Amino acid sequence: MDRPPRAVYFDAQAEAGLGRAWTMVGIGFAASLLPGLATTRRTAPHAPAPRPAPIG
């Protein structure tokens, strides 16, 4: 490695491209979270109410 990474050179500031990277991470998280929640809520089975054990 001839030179330090840009994040080290710019002290991990947005000038090193980290601002765009964090933006893309946020967009990717939201883009995966919303369909995941929608799918889970639509297809998750509901647990039946527990029945008391018969006595005797």
Pair 7, 18: CB distance under 8 Å = yes
| pLDDT for res 49 | 76
Pair 26, 18: CB distance under 8 Å = no
Supply 32's token pair: 């995966």
Overall pTM > 0.95: no
* pLDDT, tens digit, 9 for 90 and up, residues 24-37: 999 999 999 988 88
Q: Rounded CA gap, 1 and 8, in Å? A: 13
